Structure 1
Amino acid sequence: MTAFNEGERPKGGGPWLIWGIPLVLSLCGLVMIASLSLRNSMTGGSPYSQIVKQCIFLLMGLGLMSFCAFSSLRGLRRWSGLLWFIALLLLVGTLIPGLGVRVGGARRWLDLKVVRFQPLEFLLFVIPLFLADRLNQSRRRGFQGFLRPTMLVLLLSILPLLFQPNLGGTILVTLICLMMHVENRGWRYPLLGGALMVALFASLVMIEPYRMRRFLAFWDPWSDPMNKGFQIIQGLVAFCNGRVFGVGIGKGLQEDEYLPAAQTDYIFPAIGEEFGLAGTLFLLSLYAVWTIRAYRIYRRCPNSFLSVLTLGLTTSIIGPMFINVGGVMKLMPLTGIPLPFVSAGGSAMLFMWAKVGILLSVNRISSREEEREGKRPGGRRAS
């Protein structure tokens, strides 16, 4: 019996919430990006370029979701090791001058001339597939089972992220790997590994002056309100301006000049200003309902591989939401992780929808197995 899979499995309903809720979130993001783009046009920018690009990425994401939903998981599982290796090569590529693009002091993007690509999003799509397969294939138990494959995959995955540097991505990869190990092998060693990783993150913050300044800005942004604490303060001001029902679409004051990265990392405060507490709670409720529906798919999984895979994919979607919302609401330091399905950006949009497609495929396999079990003598599933 696995760590999360106790009791009877609930019967699943239709899978439409799994793709329907992300679609609503994406449409909310489009509305917000359109509002912000119109404000940018007043200062000389194009009012349509960002919204058109985001619509194209959304359509491409829906196409990728459909492909993954009807593709063979067996084939993806067979090639997951190669895909993981390619993801690592792409991450290393960001460190190569001329290929990697430096934005805000970090090299997290590849310049493909036609478009910029963030390899982290591809890695977050591949890791659940690869690690679920490795955990299912490995016969090691105890501490050896934790070192290989979990810690080996984790350390090799975060090494290029540390050189970019990308602390937010490192935290997210660590969370996914440890949660997947918990599902497959239990809590004991992931708790120890988690404590060691927290110590590592703390040391990384202390040895890098810019990370220390960012942490101090999180702790007391008003000590440097016009520099390091500016972004945090303006995000909080945006929430305060919105109050309960917001100032109205297109009427936000913070997004004019004061709220940096309003279309990407700080789109949640921008929504809070224009749509108020009601708008932000509506958004968070959508994530909550989606998580419950993903949990129902997890509970119906007929085998360990699918259970671990579903948990990893769900963590890779909901984890960024907690990191983003926690950062902009001053509950944790900022890490530059976008809000899933809502923030502007092509790489995140494409691979978030690809993960939704895999979850739909898992749901289809589970339904097929339930039908087979129902046709067996007695019509009862094995516990």
Structure 2
Amino acid sequence: MTTTTPPTRPAADGPDDAATSGFAARVSLGRVFAPVSSEFLLVASTALLLTGFGLMMVLSATMASAMAAGQSPFEVVMKQAIFAVIGIPLMFIASRLPVAFWKRIAWPALIVATCFQMLVFVPGLGVINDGNQNWIQIGGLQAQPSEFLKLALALWLGYVLFRKQTLLGSWTHVFIPVVPVGGLVIGLVAVGSEDLGTGMILMAILLGCLFFSGVKLRIFIVPLIVVVVSAVFFAVTNSNRMARIMSSFVNFDSMDCYNAAVGDCYQAVHGVWALANGGLFGLGLGNSREKYGWLPARSNDYIFAILGEELGLVGCAVVLLLFTVFAIAAFQIIRKTRDPFIRIVTGGIIVWIVGQALVNIGVVLRLLPVLGVPLPFMSQGGTSLLSVLFACGVLLSFARTIPVGPASTAIAAESLSRRR
């Protein structure tokens, strides 16, 4: 009788094979927990801090009016928090997408965003707020489509100018299709919806993308002049818009400034008073006086005034510092990248987010005329928060392309492949 022994499981040839299998596991985990650049960390952390800061200030600014209306003091902030809970995961999902994806969707994104913006003109969907027909309402939910146009325009401009990199010395290749398509999008908002503030931000994005694309100064000056002339024209041809702009320069001694029913400068007065009340350290979180019905736009366009009243100059300085760090991190992405598409789109997003923040704060300080643009990350408004967080996701996606430095895993992988 012969006996057969069952086949034995092959053993590892030696310690090198065991090390190889362990290294493979480490490499596969490394793809998930890959090191990221300091720019990635700074953009992500400032976005999260500003969003959290904004939720805190929205709660403080709205709890009194919500309770006066018989609602929960958390009614408004919970709605804003829902958009934050949606937007933050979206930001990190967007950060995992490759740069090729953003190039591929540039044209479709602009077309879809433009069609979405045109819904404001559909009867039953379009809603007029403060003289601007720039909102849609579906059920109990309102949205501002122009917020998504900002990112879509930046991506589209980045892609078009990236494809024309070697031709940007020619007027024709710079202006076509940038000027006609960009003009259509901006006109749809500034003229069609009568929202000059958002229209000017879109104009700034266009100029920012042209600047960071490396267009020669003699070519850049022409669209700059066109934008300035267009902004002035849109302002002076609308009486409601002109009244809001001039309210920033009215003498506060005018009695109309103290009458909410007739005074266009009423809100500007109370915004300045809120900042004056705050002083250096503020009245304390939740202790604002202007939020008790005195400052109408306390949770959106003038939330910086409530911030200054409750947390003082110190609180305002912290917010300005966070925006500064955000801008520095984004500029570092521009400096370190070799991809013109990344440079142009990042420049457009910086101009949008940081520029809009400066405009909003300038309005509250009466340094700029009233334009009705929210403070990014912080003002009440779900559409604005979603679009800004998604734009940060695009920046994080770009930041992942920046080399972190010599990675030990890469060196180990190379040495292992040589041995094998």
Match of 1:7 in 2: none
Q: Which residue of structure 2 aligns with residue 378 of structure 1? A: none
| Paired AA for residue 93 in structure 2 | F
Distance 2:178 2:155 in 1: 13
- How far is 1:369 from its partner? 10
Measure how far apart 1:145 and its partner are.
2.6
Q: Structure 1 pair 189/210, CA: closer, same or farther in 2 (3 Å)?
A: same
Question: Is structure 2 residue 83 aligned with structure 1 residue 53?
Answer: no
Q: How far apart in 1 are the matches of 2:208 and 2:339?
A: 17
> Is 1:190 matched with 2:215?
no
Counterpart Cα distance in 2 of 1:238 and 1:188: 44
Alpha-carbon contact 1:221-1:230 (below 8 Å) kept: no
TM-score (norm 1): 0.90
> C-alpha deviations, 1:100-132, integer Å up to 9, x for none?
111112111111225211111111111111111
Cα contact 2:66–2:76 (8 A) shared by 1: no
Structure 1 residue corresponding to 2:51, chosen from 26, 29, 48: 26
Match of 1:74 in 2: 100
Aligned residues of 1:62 and 1:353 also touching (Cα < 8 A): yes
Q: Which residue of 1 aligns with 2:27?
A: none
The RMSD of aligned alpha carbons is 2.0
Is 2:122 the partner of 1:108?
no
Residue in structure 2 matching 1:167, options 196, 217, 224: 196
Partner SS for 1:130: helix
Q: CA deviation at 1:21?
A: 0.9
8 A Cα contact 1:302 1:366, kept in partner: no
Distance in 2, Cα, partners of 1:141 & 1:94: 38
Corresponding residue for residue 171 of structure 2: 143
8 Å Cα contact 1:54-1:345 kept in structure 2:
yes
Could you say which residue in structure 2 is the equivalent of 1:92? 118
5+ residue gaps, structure 2, are 1-35, 412-420
Distance 1:228 1:80, change over 3 A: same
The offset of 1:354, in angstroms, is 0.7
Matches within 5 A, 1:231-310: 231-310=267-346
Work out whether residues 67 and 357 of structure 1, in 8 Å CA contact, stay in contact via their aligned partners in 2.
Answer: yes
Q: Which residue of the other structure, out of 156, 179, 188, is the alignment partner of 1:130?
A: 156
- Counting aligned pairs with the same residue, the percent is 28
- Which residue matches 2:25? none
Matched-pair contact (CA < 8 Å) for 1:248–1:274: yes
Change (3 A) 1:14 1:206: closer
Query: CA separation of 1:351/1:269 partners in 2, compared to 1, >3 Å: closer, same or farther?
Result: same
Q: Which secondary structure state, in structure 1, belongs to the residue aligned with residue 133 of structure 2? A: strand
Partner of 1:153: 181
| Equivalent pair of 2:62/2:291 in contact (CA under 8 Å) | no
Q: Distance in 2 between matches of 1:153 and 1:141?
A: 20
| Counterpart in the other structure of 2:145 | 119
Secondary structure of 1:102's aligned partner:
strand
Report what 2:30 is aligned to.
none
Q: Give the letter aligned to residue 274 of structure 1.
A: E
Residue 368 of structure 1 and its aligned partner are, at CA, apart by 7.5
Equivalent in the alignment of 2:241: 211
Q: TM-score if structure 2 supplies the norm length?
A: 0.82
State how far apart, in whole Å, the 1-side matches of 2:45 and 2:337 are: 21
**For 1:114 and 1:73, how far apart are their aligned partners in 2?**
36
Range moving further from structure 2, 66-75 or 344-353: 66-75
The secondary structure found in structure 2 opposite 1:153 is helix
Gaps of 5+ in 1: 1-10, 376-383
Number of equivalenced pairs: 363
Cα distance in structure 2, aligned partners of 1:110 and 1:320: 22
Pairing 1:317–2:353 present: yes
Offset from partner CA, 1:205-246 (integer Å, 9 cap, x none):
222111221222122152431211101011000000001111
2:348 and 2:87 map into 1 onto residues whose CA distance is 20
Q: Deviations over 1:316-354 (max 9, x none)?
A: 211210111111111111111110111111111111111
Specify the code of the residue in structure 1 equivalent to 2:249.
W
Matched residues in 2 for 1:280 and 1:361: separation? 30
Asked whether the equivalents of residues 12 and 300 of structure 1 are also in contact (C-alpha less than 8 Å), the reply is no
> Structure 1's 370 and 129: CA in aligned 2 closer, same or farther, altered over 3 A?
farther
Deviation at 1:14, TM superposition (A): 5.4
Name the stretch that deviates more: 18-27 or 148-157: 148-157
* Kept in 2: contact 1:245–1:275 (CA 8 A): yes
* Range with bigger deviation, 175-184 or 40-49: 40-49
Within 5 A, what are the aligned runs for 1:320-339? 320-339=356-375
Larger radius of gyration: 2
With over 3 angstroms needed to count, the CA separation of the structure-2 counterparts of 1:211 and 1:14, relative to structure 1, is closer
Distance 1:355 1:181 in 2: 19
Whether the 8 Å CA contact 2:39–2:329 is kept in 1: the answer is: no
Deviations 1:44-80 (A, max 9, x none): 2421111111111111111110111012331232121
C-alpha change, 1:122 and 1:369, in structure 2 (3 Å) is farther
Three-state SS of the structure 2 residue aligned to 1:254 is: coil
Hey, what does 2:64 align to over in structure 1? 39
- Within 2, Cα distance between the matches of 1:313 and 1:303? 16
Q: Partners of 1:212 and 1:13 in 2: how far apart?
A: 44
SS at match of 1:257: coil
Alignment CA distance shift 1:208-1:165 (3 Å):
same
1-side partners of 2:310 and 2:406: how far apart? 46
* SS in structure 1 at match of 2:127: strand
Deviation of 1:26 after TM superposition, in Å, equals 1.1
